[in-house]
Amino acid sequence: MAEKKTLVLSDSTCDLSAELVKAYDIRISPLTVVLGDEKHLDGVDVTPDDVYAYYKSSGQLAKTTATNMTEHEEFINNNVKEGQEAVYFNISSEMSTTFNSARLATEDMDNIYVIDSRNLSTGIGLLVLHACDLANDGKSAKEIYDEIMTLVDRVDASFVVDTLEYLHKGGRCSSVAALGANLLKLRPMIQVKDGKMSVAKKYRGKMTEVLKQYTKEKLESDNKFIGKRIFVTHSGGCEEISKELKEMVESAYPDKEVLITTAGCTVSCHCGPGTLGVLGIRENPIV
């Protein structure tokens, strides 16, 4: 079989399953996850369950570290052969220096187009799979890059958080706010906008009912989902409700492939278990 001319690369924060990565022949560059004094590679030798177990035993959050220039160069050299070109997706530059170091590492490489996804998790994954579709249609790396850049601000990535413990421990939520939210059983919805995460809404009540309400609102938006796919992505502990929400999405969008995926270590480090989101590409930019 002839080697592909245009490759799709991404860092591990795209949160695509091993099955999808294999099916679409995506090359993944793992971020480093630090548990105490030990360094691991995201999705290679560490999982979200390891992150949760470490927090439970130590009281300390796992940390993720950005990929540096040397690591980017090594990854590209190991995957992109002579005569090939590639698009390379990275987590939002507002959340990590990974994109900037990738940009610097590829300054002298005419065949590599580095993309600031302005997103995380399967918000990136949606763009990655769309790039794979374009590559399979014979599009060049430049053509893929140009089309992807028209979609970046239309990716609707949000998550409802079950516990504020991880956000609080990571300094993203004050003790008073965490206490008040826990007493009131508030479930914040984290929305990615302009490359950053912020609380867009707060729900109250039992998590399963909150997730149904959240999903219903996502599906009833006047800003319709476009493209081939919608993700139901969670950080563990949501297997049953995920199936129910998938059915809701399929009923509203019978023409789309609805995929249940598990978030990787980046989302898990920040948001903790029980976090879930419905993610897709919208007709118009997210406002």
Q: For the chain, how many helices (H) and strands (E)?
A: 11, 14
Q: What distance in Å separates the CA atoms of residue 89 and residue 119, rounded to the nearest whole number?
A: 10
Per-residue pLDDT at 169: 74
Asked if 32 and 39 touch (Cβ cutoff 8 Å), the reply is yes
Per-residue pLDDT at 176: 44
CA distances (Å), origin 258, targets 20, 93, 182, 245: 13, 28, 32, 10
Question: For the chain, where are the alpha helices, taking DSSP H only?
Answer: 18-23, 48-58, 69-79, 98-105, 122-136, 141-149, 165-169, 175-184, 207-219, 239-252, 265-271
- Each domain of the chain, given as residue ranges in start order, spans 6-31+66-150, 155-282
Neighbours of 68 (CB within 10 A): 16
73: Cβ contacts below 8 Å, ≥ 6 apart: 105
pLDDT in tens, 22-38: 999 999 999 999 999 99
Q: What distance in Å separates the CA atoms of residue 269 and residue 69, rounded to the nearest whole number?
A: 24
Low-confidence ranges of the chain (pLDDT < 70): 1-2, 168, 170-184
pLDDT in tens, 130-161: 999 999 999 999 999 999 999 999 999 999 99
What is the pTM assigned to this prediction? 0.94
Per-residue pLDDT at 175: 47
Q: For the purposes of burial, counting CB atoms within 10 Å of the CB of 130, is it exposed (0-12), middle (13-18) or buried (19 or more)?
A: buried
Q: What distance in Å separates the CA atoms of residue 124 and residue 198, rounded to the nearest whole number?
A: 17
Closest CA to 244 of 228, 224, 257, 260: 260
Long-range contacts of 73-81 (CB under 8 A, 24+ apart): 73/105, 75/9, 75/27, 75/29, 76/9, 76/105, 76/106, 76/109, 76/112, 79/7, 79/9, 79/27, 80/7, 80/9, 80/111, 80/112, 81/3
Per-residue pLDDT at 274: 93
Q: Which CATH class is domain 6-31+66-150?
A: alpha beta
Asked if 93 and 116 touch (Cβ cutoff 8 Å), the reply is yes
User: What SS3 class is residue 282?
Assistant: strand
Per-residue pLDDT at 250: 98
Which amino acid, 252? Answer: A
Asked if 182 and 272 touch (Cβ cutoff 8 Å), the reply is no
Architecture of the structural domain at 155-282: 2-Layer Sandwich (3.30)
- As given in the structure block, the two tokens for residue 243 are 């199936």
User: What SS3 class is residue 213?
Assistant: helix
- As given in the structure block, the two tokens for residue 172 are 């993203």
